[in-house]
Amino acid sequence: MEAALLGIVILTAFLGFSLVAAAAQLRQGGEPLAAFPAAWLPPGVLALALLAIHLALRGRRTESEQIILPVVGLLLAIGLTMIGRLQLQAGVWQQVTRGLLPGAAIMALFIARPGLVERIRRDWPVTISLAGLLLLLATAFFGVVDESGARLSLKLGPLPAVQTSELIKLALVIFLAWYIESVGEEAEARARSIGWLRLPALRYFVPGTLFVLLATLALVKMSDFGAILILGCLFVSMLYAGFQTRIFSTIAAFGVALSLLAGLVLTAAWEVPAVIQQRFAAFLDPWSAEPLLVDGAPTGLTIAEGPGYQIQQSLYALTAGGMSGTGLGLGSPGNIPLAHSEFIFAAIVEETGAIVGLALLICFAILLLRILRLAILLPQGQAFERLLLVGIGVHLFIQVFVMVGGTLNLLPVTGITIPFLSQGGMALTVNLMEVGIVLALAQQLKVTSNGSMGSG
């Protein structure tokens, strides 16, 4: 079944690139078929990568999960097609070389060596967590400042800049999975009852809270508030999955209190960066004629002409697409600033329609449900692996929720990417690494003769 679904995915990739290339040739008055050979190279690389991973799964006799790889492949095919439409061949090859190929190699490594997940649990959780945190702190103080004034990347010598906030999310998932497994049972056994609630001793949740706090403060200094939102969601969801409801409710109450206290301190002692102020003002009214201020000084632009313009163009694109879209290569998604990264969902909907946009959201929902299904089917004793799957599923889905909400102006724009669709080499590598971990854990389930699942 996986092979048949991948065949459909590969066909979709070649068809998408062919339509984009034909439309480009028609706009220039050329012959549509002449552009096909060059246009077929990127989907060819994608096809080889997907088939290699499929063969690796077959070699490991992984039959319990045959939906995740085709869903991820379909999302990659659509994302690469739209990046090619917006950024031409240069943008596609950048995504392939910096994201797809490294990520696919790591996926294959986890599939071929599923014991690496156990090694991470047993030998490397603290090392990985501290390395991710140190990278984030280094970025906060020494990172590259972009045009918006945020520090999102760390550049080491001649190497390309690395967006370290992507790494800290996976490091946090690994840390929380290991920490909750290590202290969970003891914390629950020694918790004190306060009415209906149960309060564990401070030593059981201070390290986890301290890790999240340091990461959050580093992200505040970096002005990466999208990553802060994701870290908060990961923290809450994994605590919910790892503890009894009565203990989780107590920890959540303390977390809310600490968050409010931190918010009051930051309000009094910290000036909100201009980029955050502008994004929030644009969210409230992207067509506002009020003057745009930076550090209290007028810029000569209105909110509608500044940060609101991006949201306006996104909403115009969504409206222009209608149900069936304008056709690949026949719309105007280039009018949206950063359409290839932050607003790729609006670009896809404009040219392929709301039906495809809804189908993409369903694909992400299926991906989340399949990952959570694996977490449920794993034995109860594998707490680390189960929590790891919960964290990975939530990480992938919350990014979609936040960015699609920003595209529809239901949430402020945060600047994060949509997994597998948006351009971003490090983000794609990390997302594919997470899928590799999922497929490595899927090998622990075996299909019995009656078609039911059992642990291997």
Which residue intervals of 143-244 are DSSP H helices? 165-189, 202-222, 225-242
The residue ranking higher by pLDDT, 24 or 388, is: 388
Q: Is 38 helix (H, G, I), strand (E, B) or coil?
A: helix
Q: Span 5-13, mean pLDDT? A: 95
Domain boundary among 112, 145, 173: 112
> What's the average model confidence in pLDDT over 147-171?
74
Q: Is residue 320 part of a domain?
A: no
Residues 73 and 27 in one domain: yes
Contact 313, 335 (CB under 8 A): yes
Assess whether pLDDT exceeds 90 at residue 215: no
Let me know whether 267 and 219 are in one domain: yes
Q: Looking at the structure, tell me whether residues 43 and 129 fall in a common domain.
A: no
- pLDDT surpassing 70 at residue 206: yes
- The answer to whether residues 103 and 133 belong to one domain is no
Query: Which domain range does residue 43 map to?
Result: 2-112
Grade residue 37 by pLDDT with cuts at 50, 70 and 90: confident
User: Quick check: 207 and 194 in contact, CB under 8 A?
Assistant: no
Q: Clarify whether residues 159 and 206 are in a common domain.
A: yes
Residues 6+ apart with CB under 8 A from 257: none
Domain ends where: 76, 92, 112?
Answer: 112
Do residue 176 and residue 127 come from a single domain? yes
The pLDDT score that the predictor gives to residue 210 is: 80
**Is residue 130 domain-shared with residue 170, that is, in the same domain?**
yes
Q: Indicate whether 333 belongs to any domain.
A: no
Say if 299 falls within a structural domain: no
- The percentage of residues in the chain with a pLDDT greater than 90, rounded to a whole number, is 38
Greatest distance between any 2 Cα atoms in the chain: 76
Q: State the chain's mean pLDDT as an integer.
A: 84
Give phi and psi for 231, each to the nearest 5.
Answer: -60, -40
Q: Which helix (H) or strand (E) holds 164?
A: none
* Residue 269 confidence (pLDDT): 66
| pLDDT above 80 for 80 | yes
Last residue within a domain, chosen from 112, 135, 151:
112
Lowest mean pLDDT, pick from 112-121, 256-265, 278-287, 298-307: 256-265
What does the block give as tokens for 365? 């929902």
Average pLDDT over residues 405-415: 86
Cα(359)–Cα(353) distance, integer angstroms: 10
User: Do residues 375 and 252 share a domain?
Assistant: yes
Q: Could you tell me if residue 437 is inside a domain?
A: no
| Higher per-residue pLDDT: 439 or 337 | 439
Coil, strand, or helix at residue 371?
helix
Residue type, 134: L
Asked if 420 and 76 touch (Cβ cutoff 8 Å), the reply is yes
Does 175 map to a domain? yes
* Nearest alpha carbon to residue 428 among 94, 153, 99: 99
pLDDT at position 146 is 65
For residue 350, which of 92, 86, 75 has the smallest C-alpha distance?
A: 86
Asked which of 89-98, 181-190, 308-317 is least confident by mean pLDDT, the reply is 181-190
Average pLDDT over residues 66-75: 95
Looking at the structure, do residues 242 and 364 belong to the same domain, yes or no?
yes
- CB 235, CB 176: distance < 8 Å: yes
Residue 256 lies in a domain: yes
Position 295 pLDDT exceeds 70: no
Range from 107-111, 206-210, 334-338 that averages highest in pLDDT: 107-111
Separation of alpha carbons 43 and 52, rounded Å: 14
The whole-number pLDDT of residue 417 equals 85
Domain-embedded: residue 297: no
Alpha carbons 281 and 266: distance in angstroms, whole number: 19
More confident residue, 90 or 454: 90
- For the stretch 362-389, pLDDT in tens is 999 999 999 999 999 988 788 899 999 9
Residue 49 lies in a domain: yes
Whether 62 and 211 share a structural domain: no
Which string of DSSP letters, residue by residue, matches 355-422? HHHHHHHHHHHHHHHHHHHHHHHS-TT-HHHHHHHHHHHHHHHHHHHHHHHHHTTSS-------TTTS
Looking at the predicted structure, is the pLDDT value of residue 450 above 50? Answer: no
Q: Comparing 164 with 407, which gets the higher pLDDT?
A: 407
pLDDT at residue 100 in the model: 94
Q: Are residues 349 and 449 in the same domain?
A: yes
Say which residue, 323 or 38, is predicted with more confidence: 323
Task: Name 154's bridge partners.
Answer: 162
The model's pLDDT over 242-277, given as tens digits with 9 standing for 90+, comes to 777 777 777 777 767 766 776 677 667 666 677 777
Total tally of structural domains belonging to the chain:
2
| Residue 448 in this model has a pLDDT that exceeds 60 | no
Backbone angles phi, psi at 222, to 5 degrees: -80, -10
15, 131: one domain: no
